[in-house]
Amino acid sequence: MAYQVTLQPSGHQFSVQPGQTVLEAALHAGYALPYGCRNGACGACKGKVLSGRVDYGATQEGALSAAEREQGYALFCSARPLTDLVLEVHEVTAVQEIPVKTLPCRVERLERLCHDVMGIWLKLPSSERLQFLPGQYIDFLLKDGRRRSLSLANAPEEDALLELHMRYVPGGFFSEHVFNVMKVKDILRIRGPLGSFYLRESDKPAVFVAGGTGFAPIKAILTHAFNQGLKRELVLYWGARAVRDLYMPQLPERWAREHANFRFVPVIQSPLPEESWSGRTGHVHEAVLADYSDLSGVQAYVCGAPAMVAAARRDFVARGLPADEFYSDSFEFQGGPGT
Ligand code: FES
C-alpha cells in the first residue's frame, strides 16, 4: 500500500508507492531532496524521521552509523516507509525549476587528459540546450538499459559542448567502451541535469575538496563563479593518488594567479618513486583538517569516492562545520554497474 510522507519544515506532502524509496517518490513528486550516490554509501540524503517507521534498506556504516539510527536518522535513498511518515529534511529549491530532459547527443571530441582520464565533449542537436546548475551531472542511457552518471565539467554559460571527465576502470563496462570503442561522431542518449551539488549563496568561504575526477563538477562551479566575478573566498583541495593522476593542474594554478580570492592546494596521496613532488601529501580531506582548526564558518563542497566523502563529512562536522553546510557528490571508482 502507498504511504503518505510529509516533509518538515516545508509541509510538502507526497505518496510513496510500494517498492519506492522515499527519495524516488520525492523526486517523482517534484521535491528535490539532496542526494549523491543513491546507494546508501555517501550520506548525502540523510534526514530525520520525526514520526513513523521505515525499513532502512542497505546502508553503509560510514554513511549512517548505528548511533545516528538511534537518533532517528535514515538515508532516504535506501529507506522505504512502513507507515505514514513525517520527515525533517533540507529541501533543495533552486533545481526544482530546471526541467530534466532526455536528449540525443553526438561525441564531438575525445582527448586523453592524462594516462587514465578521458575528456569527452558532447554536442546536442542545434535546437537544444541543456539548462543546468554548475555541479550537476547527466546520465548516459545505454542500449541495454543501464545508466552511467558523469558530472558536467563546463559552466552552463559555456554550453556549446558538454564536457565530461572519465577515469579508466579496468573491466568497467562503460570505461572499456569509452576508452576502446567510442569515437567521434558516435550518437548517444543522455538524461539530465541531475543532482543537487551546486554552490549555495553565502558570504562564507567555500572549501572545495575533489578526489580524482571529482574535480569535474568543481571545475564547472569555479568556472561559473569566476565568470560571475564572485568575490567570496574559494579554496580547492584536489587529491590524486600520484602526481601523474592530477590531470589538468595548470587550470587551477592559472585561476590562483588570476583571482586573489582563490587558493589551490594539490594533495598527492603517495608520489611514485620517479616523481619529484615537494607539495602536500596524504589524504586530501586530512589536508583541510591540517589547515583549519575550526570549520564552523565555512561551507564545504566535496566530490569523490564515497569513502572519502563519508570521512570528510564525519571529520569536518567534528571540526565544527554545520552539518547542513556540507554538500557532496560521490561516485564509485571501481567495479559496480556504474563503471
Ligand atoms: S547515501 Fe543516499 S544518496 Fe548517498
> Is residue 230 assigned to a domain?
yes
Provide the sign of the torsion angle of the four alpha carbons 146, 338, 225, 158, taken in this order: negative
Domain end (from 47, 70, 91): 91
The answer to whether residue 336 is domain-embedded is no
CA pair distance 160, 158, nearest whole angstrom: 6
Is the minimum distance from the CB of 194 to ligand 1 under 6 angstroms? Answer: no
13 with 32, same domain: the answer is yes
- Output the tens digit of pLDDT for each of the chain's 339 residues: 899 999 999 999 999 999 899 998 887 676 768 776 778 888 888 999 999 999 999 988 889 999 999 999 999 999 999 999 999 998 876 676 677 889 999 999 999 999 999 999 999 987 777 878 889 999 999 888 888 999 999 988 787 899 999 999 999 889 999 999 999 999 999 999 998 899 998 999 999 999 999 999 999 999 989 987 889 999 999 999 999 999 999 999 999 999 999 999 999 999 999 999 999 999 999 999 999 999 999 999 999 999 999 999 999 999 999 999 999 987 754 333 334
Q: CB 123: neighbour CB atoms within 10 A?
A: 15
235 & 288 share domain? yes
Q: Are residues 41 and 77 in the same domain?
A: yes
Work out the end-to-end distance of the chain between its first and last CA atoms, rounded to an integer number of angstroms: 35
CA of 53 to the centre of ligand 1 (A): 19
CA distances from 187 to 116, 144, 250, 266 (A): 23, 15, 31, 36
Q: Let me know if residue 18 belongs to a domain.
A: yes
The best mutation among 38, 73, 92 to test binding of ligand 1, ranked by most ligand atoms within 8 Å of the C-beta, falls on 38
Ligand 1 pocket, residue 63 CB under 6 Å: yes
Residues written for the chain: 339
Same domain, 189 and 73: no
The rounded Å distance from CA 64 to ligand 1 centre is 9
**Which residue range is the domain that position 255 belongs to?**
206-330
Q: Which residue has the cell 568543481?
A: 218
In this prediction, residue 32 carries a pLDDT of 67
Peptide bond into 99 cis (omega under 30): no
Q: Are residues 212 and 293 in the same domain?
A: yes
Backbone angles phi, psi at 176, to 5 degrees: -60, -40
pLDDT of residue 94: 65
Strand partners, 142: none
pLDDT at residue 338 in the model:
36
Same domain, 324 and 229: yes
Same domain for 145 and 70? no
Q: Which of 151, 167, 194 is the last residue before a domain boundary?
A: 194
> Separation of 44 CA from ligand 1 center, angstroms?
5
Question: What atom of ligand 1 comes closest to residue 63's alpha carbon?
Answer: 1
136 and 236 together in one domain: no
Give yes or no for residue 222 CB within 6 A of ligand 1.
no
Which of 65, 75, 80, 329 has most ligand 1 atoms within 8 Å of its beta carbon, as the pocket-test mutant?
75
**Ligand 1 closest atom vs CA 330:** 4
Residue 200 placed within a domain: no
Q: Residue 85 CA to chain centroid, in angstroms?
A: 27
Do 110 and 187 fall within a single domain? Answer: yes
8 Å CB contact between 224 and 157:
yes
What's the CATH number where 230 sits? 3.40.50.80
Structure-block grid coordinates of residue 337: 554497474
Atom number in ligand 1 closest to CA 64: 1
Q: Name the residue with the closest Cα to ligand 1, atom 1.
A: 40
Position 64 in a domain: yes
In a domain, 183, yes or no: yes
Domain stop point among 91, 111, 126: 91
Instruction: Give me the number of domains the chain comprises.
Output: 3
212 and 320 assigned to the same domain:
yes
Q: What is the pLDDT of residue 333?
A: 44
Is the pTM here over 0.85, yes or no? no
Q: Is 335 inside a domain boundary? A: no
Q: Is 36 near ligand 1, meaning CB less than 6 Å away?
A: yes
**CA 253 / ligand 1 centre spacing (Å):** 32
User: How high is the pLDDT of residue 50?
Assistant: 97
Burial of 133 (0-12, 13-18, 19+ CB in 10 A): buried
185 and 272 within one domain = no
Do 290 and 310 belong to one domain? yes
CATH number at residue 116: 2.40.30.10
